Structure 1
């Protein structure tokens, strides 16, 4: 093939292939965390599948819209730390309708961040060590899944962990997806042995709308921590990753689109969408081709992949329901190990911030809810209070 034809093929193919990889890795590595989070705050299996559909479709459409509008490789993802927060929070007063109300309020706050620069500046004033320690405490409970799974069901969980370790050594990008594939094989073998098969109609995509309500517990226990975690652990790092790759994300437009997407998806159970960080690096990096002006095609492709996978949300939900004991918590924990490591590293990077960070971490990890308010909120308050006290002492 002549060089100019080869160059043209690479210009067309590489962004598309990078987008497909970004979409597949982003979805398969964390969808179990989304389902776990939605179920923990009161969603039925049908409502959780609807929520997975909502966030998949809205983040896919948002990626397509932002990339076509800006001609930049802007990738939108669901809030994986936010889903982990929901899983750690558990049931709240008001149940699932109150959680949906909190999702709506989160969308309003993200929209307000795009409209009011002062709100974004206020979020930026939260110390990185405190924000990352809160996230690490939230993630810790989920990251225990592989350990407890090995103790509970070693024969079916051990292959998942082994594949994850081998993939981490030789193809780290695919570690979490390959762990999920191994889990899917284990689930298939389990189902073939028990004869439990889902009804074909249950595998069709469906939307379950919920009338939202708001309670003090949902506002303080879910909406505010979800907004803070999404901003501090997704939107701000996502913009930084893009800046490091030579792209300046249109901040206001991105917040307006992701805030609107969160609002649209909330009644169907979607918790939050935001700028991607890891997926952004896949779609905007060298893997998407040498022509930087064409890398936006990768983000559009990733968006299409997410929409398609979202339409299969009921099938993924059925797979999770059929899983033997310990397998799905192990997959979720393995998917979050890297995020936990990064959060701990950021939280403990500065010596003077370590004690406030540790107080924040252990409070969030305790999972103790006081007055119906989740541990994440109290962790943030405790960390800021200890930081202020130590700063005053110095």
Structure 2
């Protein structure tokens, strides 16, 4: 339950902000948050009961950050929903067709890390902007984040959010009429398969979800001695993503941080029974999803930069990990820097967003650098 609460409170603002950025209205954004919570809950319970392994499921936080960077597509939110469907279908294919999974793994780690860093950077700058634009509410939020993070890192963002809520209620505007309902509701959006949006949103969403969620999630489980079969995990999360897409859900995947909470010693002394923690985590996530309506109303009553500041605080750790991955290999740093610059610039071409072009530029430069490397001198 702690893992569910920390995971939800830390990044639900990122999800809602991302859905709003790609054109969702208030009810559609609340529906999308509810959809990923319910889809994640079902997959976590099914996989936990089936494999008796603490397989924690979450929404794609880096994917939501990608949506913020992408902005509203020309086809509006229906086109974004079509991209969510493509993401889910590609995740299923990655599970069913091993060669596709190997192709994703073949993307150079520095390039993948740099693309994620470029996506996250603008949002992680929001706390600084908030201090300049709305210092009165921003300063205590950031101060609490710093203080709590010194003693209990996982609770830093939830504590900052707990401070932000009363400040928003006291100083923010009254919720607009016709806004998000307090009662949970799934809102159907008919998908539109717009080619440009599929390439600029759907494909990068799939790559970010695989590289920043599913791969690290498997690594975390392996650290604790668990090796669940990857194929059913990918197929289940891909199908759940496809099922949740018409309701506004962007992506469901393996968790990383909550995976460590559910698979580690804190979940119990007997490793063979820790799967109960991941199942409880999933149930808790589904229950918290019922608060999607009030959470959206809170978002709408907040100064936009303050919401982005809380989201940015939640993503600073992910930004640090992405930068580390991008710069870890000296031979890949030039390609990583190019990927980062192109992605962070946020400029699209031919109707395709910056994340795709950053990934393409970094991959091409990596291949060129490999071709121009001198061959090793033969030994005497």
User: TM-score, normalized by length of structure 2?
Assistant: 0.96
Q: CA deviation at 1:202?
A: 2.0
Alignment of 1:1-394 (within 5 A): 20-191=1-172, 202-394=181-373
C-alpha spacing 1:110/1:360, structure 2 compared with 1 (3 Å): same
Work out the CA distance in 2 between the residues paired with 1:267 and 1:196. Answer: 26
Which has the higher mean CA deviation after the structures are superposed, 224-233 or 316-325?
316-325
Work out the CA distance in 2 between the residues paired with 1:256 and 1:27. Answer: 24
8 Å contact 1:149–1:325 — kept in the other structure? no
Q: CA deviation at 1:188?
A: 2.0
8 Å contact 2:7–2:258 — kept in the other structure? yes
Secondary structure, aligned partner of 1:77: strand
Structure 1 residue ranges without an equivalent (≥5)? 1-19
Question: In the alignment, which residue of structure 2 is the partner of 1:11?
Answer: none
Question: In the alignment, which residue of structure 2 is the partner of 1:8?
Answer: none
Work out the CA distance in 2 between the residues paired with 1:147 and 1:372. Answer: 30
Work out the CA distance in 2 between the residues paired with 1:339 and 1:221. Answer: 22
Secondary structure, aligned partner of 2:225: coil
Secondary structure, aligned partner of 1:30: helix
8 Å contact 1:190–1:324 — kept in the other structure? no
Work out the CA distance in 2 between the residues paired with 1:378 and 1:369. Answer: 8
C-alpha spacing 1:364/1:199, structure 2 compared with 1 (3 Å): closer
Work out the CA distance in 2 between the residues paired with 1:61 and 1:351. Answer: 42
8 Å contact 1:198–1:318 — kept in the other structure? no
Work out the CA distance in 1 between the residues paired with 2:7 and 2:180. Answer: 27
Work out the CA distance in 2 between the residues paired with 1:182 and 1:392. Answer: 54
8 Å contact 2:110–2:332 — kept in the other structure? yes
Q: What RMSD in Å do the two structures reach over aligned CA positions?
A: 1.4
Work out the CA distance in 2 between the residues paired with 1:201 and 1:90. Answer: 21
What does the per-residue CA deviation read over 1:307-347, in whole Å, with 9 as the maximum and x for residues that have no partner? 11111100100011111352111101000000000100111
Structure 2 residue ranges without an equivalent (≥5)? 374-380
8 Å contact 2:343–2:354 — kept in the other structure? yes
Work out the CA distance in 1 between the residues paired with 2:296 and 2:140. Answer: 22
Aligned residues: 373
Secondary structure, aligned partner of 1:274: strand
8 Å contact 1:128–1:347 — kept in the other structure? yes
Secondary structure, aligned partner of 1:202: coil
Q: CA deviation at 1:167?
A: 1.3
Work out the CA distance in 2 between the residues paired with 1:297 and 1:62. Answer: 14
Work out the CA distance in 2 between the residues paired with 1:325 and 1:279. Answer: 27
Work out the CA distance in 2 between the residues paired with 1:174 and 1:378. Answer: 36
8 Å contact 1:132–1:343 — kept in the other structure? yes
Secondary structure, aligned partner of 2:253: strand
Work out the CA distance in 2 between the residues paired with 1:201 and 1:334. Answer: 25
8 Å contact 2:180–2:293 — kept in the other structure? no
Work out the CA distance in 2 between the residues paired with 1:201 and 1:250. Answer: 39
Work out the CA distance in 2 between the residues paired with 1:195 and 1:303. Answer: 33
Secondary structure, aligned partner of 1:211: coil
Q: CA deviation at 1:99?
A: 0.6
User: TM-score, normalized by length of structure 1?
Assistant: 0.92
